[in-house]
Structure 1
């Protein structure tokens, strides 16, 4: 997984021009098997954030995770959710800045 996944998710899930959601195929391993959950390292690579931030978000309840045989796993859907929240937040900030400039 890489930063390219974040861009792919954004392109596949959001048509930013008209804000409609689209369907995205589930991530797959090279052998074609679907990925249902990431470990922390893979999640960090997929979303582009560090481990400290991931554990902070888990502790604050902003990121769902669980333990499987002692290993922390994060559902794939959480990567999409976090990326879309960041896109929505950035869009809202840009819109607010534009409106503020118009007032000045």
Structure 2
């Protein structure tokens, strides 16, 4: 058995930030798809003289694009910052408890 007595805090934060950005992108795609679906349904129900709803349709498309861009940044950054704190706390806990045994084959 191998014993883990500490982890690289910055290494953990880089990994978690990257993983958070990927998850943010997937969530952004999902939210963008729902936003576009709702926007399309709303414009379709407006009839031929959509009027102000056509302006709102542009806002829905803009919101979908913003979600795809902004959510990965927010998710990645928040995961990176949280993991910096978590890694530091984990290192203290590992030293106090004597580490964690891992079986590596």
TM-score tier after normalising by the smaller chain length: 0.3 to 0.5
TM-score with structure 1 length normalisation?
0.33
Structure showing greater radius of gyration is 2
| Structure with the larger RCO, 1 or 2 (CA within 8 Å, 6+ apart) | 2
Task: Considering fraction of residues, name the structure with more helix.
Answer: 2
TM normalised by structure 2 equals 0.33
